[in-house]
Structure formats: structure tokens, C-alpha cells
A and B are shown apart, each in its own frame.
Chain A
Amino acid sequence: MKALKALFNGGLYLPSEKSQTLNAPVQTAADCPWLFVPMLQHAGTAAEAIVGPGQAVLAGQKIGQPADGDSAAVHSPVSGTVRAVEEIRLPDGTRAAAAVIENDCEHRPADGINVPCEPAEVTVTNFTERFADWGLVQMQANGMPLHRRLQIAREHNVRTVVVNAMESEPYLTADHRLTVEQTLLVALGLTHICRLVGAEAGIVAVDQRRPDEAALLDKLLADHAEEHGLMLEAAMVDNRYPQGHELMLLKTLFDEEVEVRLSDGAGELASDRAGVCVLAVGTVAAAADAMLFNRPLTHRVVTVSGEAVGAPGNFLVPVGMRFSDVLDCCDVSPTIDRLIVGGPMTGIAQADDQSVFTKQTAGLVLFSAAMVHQPGPCIRCGWCVEDCPVQINPALLAGLAESGRWHRGFAHHAETCIECNICSYVCPSRLPLLEHIRKLKRAMARDQQARAGERGPA
């Protein structure tokens, strides 16, 4: 097993704040009477609802059909009755149709699910339909359907699949608990995904502060490596934020860099061009669950933590469960300053607790102490430049965005930004630097599209 220093420049050791929930076993969340299961829980096209009001559904029954190749199915996590299909607001602020299901709390499973199956039945030729049918998506913010992700990896002939169990955001421990409690699933999932994308090696990147987790993984991976003729191992990696990002893992594990393009989003897909596909640990475990037991993706592990939470913990929640149903049993302080979906570095603040868990929700972090961040003038301290993990100049790019000179963003490589938010975190003037860079990137993308359009017809 390797123990690796972070090779990238910049980055920061953030306060981890994980101790409260690090050793708390995953509890199954109490049954909630109503679920609002969104048809859009991935980046791509929403699924089409195939149930209507009054229809009875079983746990694991498909209620949303993938609309096209960029879409994944949606299943009912519980048994009960569909009462409506209506539009709701998702945690990231977008709106999508959702099936409102009244839970009968009997957990009657649909036919054929929860039965052991042969994972070898999922092959290179049929995994696209099977994965879309199981509703497998990348279980991280802005994750695309898993079958699309693996197709992209296949197109690039990736040689290594990296499972990211780093969880570098503070407070969140869901991935850690999942890895500890479902180690075998992670190992099997990695084995089969390597087979499906044609990779010859698989690595699970684990936080170096958790050697037990790494040792257990390493042992299980070694058992499966020989059987499938793969190189599988666990690697302990330094926990300097944002080590959990795809490109930082690429740099630390392989000492390779790759140019990021605007079309890579926040750089998530760039590592494929260097032959490395990075998947979150939850994604891999869910894929294994589906392949081994024919279980569609209907539940996920989330962390509820933060200083406003009296009884923090890790919970297995059905997708479509309202935040309020979980918070009711977490002894939340009466005044909440911030309710954040995801971690405090990149998570999205909510106005209230009426939104729902989706396949991409890693956790809820609640703060009660008010923090006022009013922006002031840039004093050119240079800390954003020093700490930027991809060595761009956020202060300069923010200036370009503010003055509308987005065309100069190309020369300064704004597209390289991986949106880790360190620049805004360290800024003593409290400037929303990442927001400015995002704005710049959007303008640059529009420009690129316009130019492609000009070229296209001619």
C-alpha cells in the first residue's frame, strides 16, 4: 500500500470537523410519511414519469423511464401510493418534476429485486441499458448518469479507474462510513467497473488519516485482483484540500497533469484524457449493489452535521425524503443561520429544509452562528494565487469578469479552474472570487459556441 504526499501546488489543510460523525455507524433514517422523488437527479435529461396519481408502487419499482442516452431511471424507494406528480425545487435551485409518494411503511419490494444475481451478466455490450435502468448516476454534485460516464471513459481507453474515498470537504463522513461498512461492495464494484471500461488497474484513494480503512480495502482488493487479472490496490493520500478532486488525484497518484478544457466543466472529465477515470466511492458501491443484488439506486448515505446539530450522524436515506424529516430526529438548534447541502466549501445554501435528498446529496451541514461576509476591495494579498491548486490568478480573473473582459480569460486559463473555492475561502476582502470565475467561464463558453456556430455552416 502506498502512502502518498500531495504533489500538487497550493491547496490548504482545512479544519476537518469530522470527529463527531466519523465513528458513528450508518443509521437507517426513520420512515417518513411522504416522499418527493425527483425525476432529475443527475446532470442530463430528466427521466419521464411513468406513474400517475393513485397508482400503487412497490419499493424498487421503476417510476421514471430514462428519456434518452443522457438520462437514468428513477425508482420508488418505498412502497405506497403515488398521490401526484408535481414540480418541486431541487437543492441546487433547479426545478424538476417529482412523484409525490405516500409511504405505507410496509417496505414491500418489487419483483426480482434484492435477489442475488451474476454480475458477469452485465457486459461491455449491455451495461449502458442495465445501468440506466438501475438508475445509477455519479453520486456527487453535478454527476452524470454512470453509464454515460463509463462510456466517456471507454472512449478515452482509460487504463486506471480511481475510486475517490477522500471526502475532502469538512464535516462530511458519509463516504468514509460507506467505505468502512461496505468495503466488500466497494472492492467488487471497482473490479467490475474496471472490467466494463477495459481498465487494467484500479486504485482506491483513501485519506492518509484512516490507515485502518486503507488496510482493510487493500486486503480485500488483493483477494479480487488475482481472480480478475487486475492490478488493484488502496493508496493512502495526503488530505490537503482539494485532494479529492479528479485532477489533484491524477497529479498525486500518477504525477501527471492534463490541460483542462471549457467543456470539462470543473475539470471532472479532464483526467480521462490522461487515461484515468475517477469515480466517487458511493457510485462504485451502488453499482456493485445493483450488479450483485439487482437493487436499483434508491437510497444513499448522508451525513448530517454542523454546529447547529445536537445529534449529528450518518443516515441511510431514501431519495426524495425531505430534509425536515431527517432533521426532526437530529436535535437541531431552533435558530439556523445556514442550511448547506454538501460541505461548507462548495455546498449550496438552502432557504429552508423543504427540499429533498437526491442521489447526489452528500450531506447536510447546519450552522447557527451568523457569519457576515461583506466584500471589500481586493488588497492584492496574493493568497488566492498562492493557494490555488491549479495555479491560476483568481484575483486577476475576477477583475476580468467584473469589467466584462472575458475574452482575456482564455489567455489566463480561466477554464482550468476546478471550482474548489479555496480562493474565496482565503480572501481577506471576502470577495466571491469563484463566482466571478464561473461567470467568466460561462461567457467564454458562449463565445466558443458562437464561434463554433460560425464555423459549422460554412
Chain B
Amino acid sequence: MKEKIKIASGQGFWGDLIDAPYHQVMKGEIDYLVMDYLAEVTMSILQKQKIKNPKFGYARDIPQLMRRILPTCKEKNIKVITNGGGVNPIACAEAVIEVAKELGINQLKVGVVLGDDIKDSLDDIIAQGAELNNMETDESILTIKDKLLSVNVYFGAFPIVEALEKGADVVITGRTTDTGLTLAPMIYEFGWDKNNYNLLSAGTVAGHILECGAQASGGNFLGDWESIENFAEIGFPIAEAYPDGTVIITKHEGTGGRVSFETVAEQLVYEIGDPKNYITPDCVADFTSIKLEDLGNNRVKMFNVSGAKETEFYKVSCSYFYGYSASGSLTYSWPKALTKAKAAEQILRKRLELLDLSFEEIRAEFIGYNATHETLARKIDEDNINEVMLRFSVRSTNFESVERFGKEIAPLILTGLPAVTGFAGGRPKPSEVVAYWPALMPKTLVKPVVKIIEV
């Protein structure tokens, strides 16, 4: 058994710094590169891409990235684990194999985790007793069943462990939990038992720290952010894991950002609910048990984590077509920028009313004044404000209403208040609103499948 392993976070979301995983591989020693690409509604975007082209439906950044890092990964035996397979992990794996062939790599095993996409077998699964009610509202899935775009089960770490056991150098999954990507190599390397919930929880907490990339190493840090150096070359976090569940969070030498008690603690409280019950398919981690010790020099020791047995349910992430929305903006300058922006809002509301359109919601916000803190925004002195941007948005199930709204923004330049500008992007177009439907289903009704594709 290895004495320790280093697991490096390469992406916090699809759209994160393109070069981050490259730097993780190149700027120091690591054993694993883990990359989270999937936000809650990403699956529906990928599903649409797959409908247009059956070879798409995964994060197409992956083959491009692999072209840059694969030779080094092979040479140094760095394994890559990602959920960027989206709704087409096989196509993603095949693309990686193609890259390997082009690079002249003649031995590469890509593990693929399948089975999370249950859209086509949904009727069977419902017939077998899965209710799939909305976890937040308790509504029945039958109310949106005709509008479903994607239905995916969140698998945990164990299918990835199986792929690693089968010798995979690269593991590509569909909807796997972000935390499972980091936990899996610990289970595999240290032989952790699936009933040792304290260890599984320790790996899960490490996964939570890594899953948002540089948010654990100084990015978006609301504490003493002015003292953080070199954001331009921010280092992404690395979990140095030990067999007893101790994990040291760090980053490569010479990179920007900071790993400290404070930066790690901020990430630990990010997007959590009840900290005693952090539920994953692998375990239920207790965030109130975590001990953090700042060792200095961008090293934070995490230990003492406890947790409990996993639940009998998988979380299911469904996306469905909801309607349309559009958003447009105009910028009003001094004098009386806010007064004019507010008057423009009223004019626009009146015009939409006269057009007899149908909207579920209309919203006006004043950027530069209260768009973020709303009722908590400080009152402003109109003489001292240089400009305000009116951001006006609508949502409707009626396409024509949203499209018509888009034609009402630009006319305000010639038919409303003075000293206004900022309309250059053309008419706001209706965009499809794809909504998210979280649900639970018994674990017994679905089984992950692990395949190996190799050169």
C-alpha cells in the first residue's frame, strides 16, 4: 500500500480555467487528476448536443486536454478521473483513445462508468415503485414527465474504484457525485472497506474541498482577500491523502492563491445544508466532526472526520423543459441616473401591459445600485452616482410574448429618458429555460456498469 497519494483538482465546473489541469500535471508531483464538469443542468445541455450529433454529449474540452497531458500522465503514472463523460461517456472514452493513438501511445486503458442515464427505462423504474417526487416540493414526476430532457442517477465512488481495479489509467463517468471522484482513489489505493464510514466520510470531505477548484485555495475568498497574492496564476487545490483518513490540503509550490484554515473553511461551508448529514451515495458525512489545523506554508491538515452508513436511495437529477426567458439592459448616466432607470422600468412595464402579453414573471434590477443586495442596498445620493444599468427580464411559457419583449428594449433609447446607452448586442432572444427536478429512488432499481476500452 502507498504511504500517501496526491489527488489534484483540475476543474471546478465546466468553463473553469482551461489550463488548470495542465498546470496540476506539470508543476509538481501528483498521482491523480480529478475533474468535475457537471453542474445540475449541464446534463440537459449535453443531451441536446447528443440529439444533434450522437458522437457528442460530453465535455469536449477533455480530448483536447488529454492531448496535452496524456504523455506526461503515462510517463509518471498519473491517473485521470472525470465525470465529463456527461450523457455520452463511451463517445468521450473513444475520443480519448483516438487521441492516445494519434500520440503514439500504444497502451492505455480507459474505464467507463455507465448506467446512470435512466431516461429510456423510466417507465419501468416507475412501474417498479420509484416515485421520483420532487424532493423540494413533493410534486409527482407525472406532472412533468412529458417534458423531461434528461434523467440521471448520481453514482458514488465505487464504480470508479471498480474501473481502477480493472487497470484503468483514465476513468470517464456520466453523472457521478463530485465528491466520489476524489474519494475513489483513496478507497482503491488504501483498500478502505465500504463499511468504514469514517474513512469514506474523510474522503468525501476532501472531495467537497476539491470539487470547486480554486475556491479552496484563495479564489472567491471573502476573508482577508486583499492579502492574497498572484490570483493570475492561482494554484488549484491538492489533497494529500493518508491511509488513516488524514488529508492535507495544499497546492503546488510557486503558484498563486492561498491554502489556509480560512480559505478551506469557506469552501467547507459552501452549498451545504445540515452539516451533520452530508448525504452522498457512499456515506453520510458529519461536517461538525472535521478538525482543521493550519500547518503554514499553504498546508492545512484535515482529520477526525466521522460519518454514518449511506442511505438506501440514490439521488436522481432530472431536467425538463420549463419555458422561455430573456433579459435586456440599458445604461443611464448622470444626471439622475437611478431616477431615469426607474422611470424607464415603468415605461417598459406599461408598454408590455398594453401589448397584452403573458408573463409568469417580470423583474427589473438596477446594476450599480441594488441588483445584488436588493433591500439591503444603501440608499444613494443621485448627485454622486455616475451611472446605473437597468436590467429587465421576463419569463413565460409563451414563446411569442418573450420574443416580443425583446423588441421593446432598444426603442427606449429614442422614446424615453435621456443620456442612455449600452444597447449594442441586438434584441434579446428568448432562451429556453430548462429546470431541475431533484428526486430519490431506491438503490436496488439501478446498477452501475463499468467497461474498459483500450488501445
- Say whether A associates with B: no
Residues in B lying within 8 Å of A, measured CB to CB: none
